């Protein structure tokens, strides 16, 4: 059994059952630890603090920016909220860069694509994720 056979596997987010066997869907990909990390980041950024009963501080403050204009202030706050939340709740990685998509279509649709580049602490491998922050309720 190699390290990739078990590293980074876990329950998929959002939690769901597989159609074939009725078992719990598992996150795995190439490499498997990145798929699990991506799901963890999405989970952290899409959860508002206070939503989890037994861990009320879990999540990020991105939801506070829903009604902000899509400008430099929004991007600066979003960057800070992303870095703070990931640093606190995802200890397997270190965020190295946070950038934003500048496409006019995104601005018109009130979507801000957040490009997150990170480094896995255990093996120094870089990875990236694009998180679509929708500025609508």
pLDDT tens, residue by residue, 61-78 = 999 998 888 788 888 999
Question: How far, in Å, CA of 76 to CA of 17, rounded?
Answer: 38
Tokens for 75, please give them: 């991007």
Half-sphere exposure of 83 (CA within 13 A, CB side): 11
Tokens for 113, please give them: 């694509």
What's the total number of domains in the chain?
1
List the domain range (segments joined by +) for residue 60.
Answer: 3-134
Q: pTM here?
A: 0.74
Query: CATH number for the domain including 55?
Result: 3.10.450.40
pLDDT tens, residue by residue, 115-137 = 999 999 988 889 999 998 887 65
């Amino acid at each position: 059994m190699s390290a990739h056979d078990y590293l980074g596997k876990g329950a998929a987010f959002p939690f769901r059952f597989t159609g074939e066997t009725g078992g719990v869907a598992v996150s795995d990909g190439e490499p498997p630890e990145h798929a699990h990390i991506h799901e963890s980041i999405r989970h952290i950024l899409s959860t508002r603090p206070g939503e989890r009963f037994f861990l009320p501080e879990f999540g990020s403050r991105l939801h506070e920016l829903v009604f902000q204009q899509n400008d430099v202030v929004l991007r600066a706050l979003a960057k800070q909220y992303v870095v703070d939340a990931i640093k606190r709740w995802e200890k397997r990685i270190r965020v190295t860069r946070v950038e934003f998509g500048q496409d006019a279509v995104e601005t018109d649709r009130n979507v801000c694509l957040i490009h997150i580049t990170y480094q896995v602490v255990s093996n120094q491998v870089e990875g990236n994720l694009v998180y679509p922050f929708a500025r609508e309720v």
